[in-house]
């Protein structure tokens, strides 16, 4: 019977990068909220959330450098994650009509990184933030990067918005940027600065792609390198497993046939049917790993290996 974990694993493997990003954001949100509830009833604070947020202080960032990545996958407020995920998923699907999954992932990261950089620059160099310190959390900058890129690549495409009817992507982008600009003097001024960082990343991507240059290519080459390295290591470990568990039967067959011709009992060699079935199971192990075998296949592998030893 397929377990819940198996179902989740299958859904993850079959999902697009857009859905994977949404899943990660929702999962981290749930962990943060549940952790906050537990902390509340235990009478403690939940300042540990700071380890995921991006600080405006470079000194603090040096102590938790991972936060420049983790912040863009974390939300704490319900409305924050709701609007960000609707924004991301809606425009992410439009983005994928003209771009690849890898480009979407890379632009999401680019938007988050540039959003964090603009946020830190503003807090450290603008007079309005003298002696102030801030924390950045949320996927808004990353989502805005995808919105702006989509609008630049296909500005006249229309989408239907509730209460507004059909409106071109270029106007959605312009109105969105105007709202962010007007909010720069408000309580979330740091967040809006990050939004502009994400918008700049999306604009650069869209303009450069229209000119024939894909700025996400270096990121995707690096990602492919790590994926290929991981796959090679995994296959190497698998080959060691198969060398230990399988070749004994072939080696025994070769030596046995050369030394005894009359011992045609069950120990002589594997039957063609057993050998074919064994090869099929080993091919599956090589492609997907031992854990991918069903319980029947594992038992069959054990039985055949035992019979041909």
CA 66/CA 162 separation, integer angstroms: 38
Does 261 have pLDDT greater than 80? Answer: no
When pLDDT is cut at 50, 70 and 90, the band that residue 257 belongs to is very low
Average pLDDT, the chain: 82
Does 273 have pLDDT greater than 60? Answer: yes
Q: Does domain 4-214 have CATH number 3.40.47.10?
A: no
Q: What are phi and psi of 259, to 5 degrees?
A: -105, -30
Tell me which of 147-151, 233-237, 286-290, 298-302 is least confident: 286-290
When pLDDT is cut at 50, 70 and 90, the band that residue 290 belongs to is low
Instruction: Give the model's pLDDT for residue 149.
Output: 95
Residues 6+ apart with CB under 8 A from 80: 138
**Closest CA relative to residue 176, chosen from 109, 49, 257, 90:** 90
Instruction: Give the model's pLDDT for residue 29.
Output: 95
Instruction: Give the model's pLDDT for residue 285.
Output: 66
Of 213 and 185, the structure prediction assigns the larger pLDDT to 213
Instruction: Give the model's pLDDT for residue 252.
Output: 36
C-alpha distance from residue 74 to each of 13, 147, 304 (Å): 22, 19, 50
CA 261/CA 257 separation, integer angstroms: 6
Instruction: Give the model's pLDDT for residue 250.
Output: 45
Instruction: Give the model's pLDDT for residue 111.
Output: 96
H helix or E strand, kind and range, residue 165:
strand 165-168
pLDDT by residue (tens digit) across 196-226? 999 999 999 999 999 999 999 999 999 888 8
- Judge if pTM exceeds 0.85: no
Tell me which of 23-37, 64-78, 290-304 is least confident: 290-304
DSSP 74-128: ---SHHHHHHHHHHHHHHHHHHTTTS-HHHHHHHHHHHHHHHHHHHHHHHHH-GG
Question: In DSSP terms, which residues pair with 168 in a beta bridge?
Answer: 158
Instruction: Give the model's pLDDT for residue 267.
Output: 41
Give the percent of the chain with pLDDT over 90.
Answer: 46
Place of tokens 């408000």: 186
When pLDDT is cut at 50, 70 and 90, the band that residue 148 belongs to is very high
Instruction: Give the model's pLDDT for residue 268.
Output: 42
Instruction: Give the model's pLDDT for residue 307.
Output: 61
Q: Where in the chain is the domain with CATH 1.20.1540.10?
A: 4-214
Instruction: Give the model's pLDDT for residue 242.
Output: 63
When pLDDT is cut at 50, 70 and 90, the band that residue 3 belongs to is confident
Instruction: Give the model's pLDDT for residue 305.
Output: 64
For the segment 77-98, the average pLDDT, to the nearest whole number, is 92
pLDDT by residue (tens digit) across 299-308? 776 676 666 5
């Amino acid at each position: 019977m397929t377990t819940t974990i198996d179902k989740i694993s299958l859904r993850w493997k079959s999902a697009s990068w857009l859905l994977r990003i949404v899943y990660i954001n929702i999962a981290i949100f749930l962990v943060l909220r549940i952790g906050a509830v537990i902390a509340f009833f235990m009478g403690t604070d939940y300042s540990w959330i700071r380890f995921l947020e991006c600080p405006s202080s470079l000194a603090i960032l040096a102590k938790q450098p991972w936060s420049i990545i983790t912040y863009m996958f974390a939300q704490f407020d319900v409305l924050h994650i709701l609007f960000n995920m609707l924004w991301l998923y809606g425009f992410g699907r439009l983005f994928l009509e003209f771009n690849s999954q890898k480009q979407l992932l890379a632009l999401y990261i680019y938007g988050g990184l540039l959003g964090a950089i603009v946020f830190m620059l503003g807090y450290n160099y603008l007079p309005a933030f003298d002696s102030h310190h801030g924390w950045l959390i949320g996927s808004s900058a990353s989502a805005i990067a995808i919105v702006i890129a989509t609008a630049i690549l296909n500005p006249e495409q229309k989408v239907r918005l509730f209460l507004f009817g059909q409106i071109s992507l270029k106007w959605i982008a312009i109105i969105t940027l105007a709202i962010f600009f007007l909010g720069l003097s408000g309580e979330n001024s740091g967040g809006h600065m990050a939004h502009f960082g994400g918008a700049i990343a999306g604009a650069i991507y869209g303009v450069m792609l229209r000119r024939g240059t894909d700025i996400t290519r270096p990121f995707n080459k690096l990602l492919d390198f790590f994926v290929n390295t991981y796959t090679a290591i995994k296959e190497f470990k698998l080959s060691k497993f198969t060398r230990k568990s399988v070749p004994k039967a072939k080696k025994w067959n070769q030596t046995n046939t050369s030394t005894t011709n009359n011992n045609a009992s069950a120990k002589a060699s594997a039957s063609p049917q057993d050998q074919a079935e064994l090869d099929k199971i080993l091919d599956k192990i090589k492609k997907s790993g031992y854990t991918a075998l069903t319980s029947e296949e594992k038992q069959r592998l054990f039985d055949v290996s035992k019979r041909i030893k």
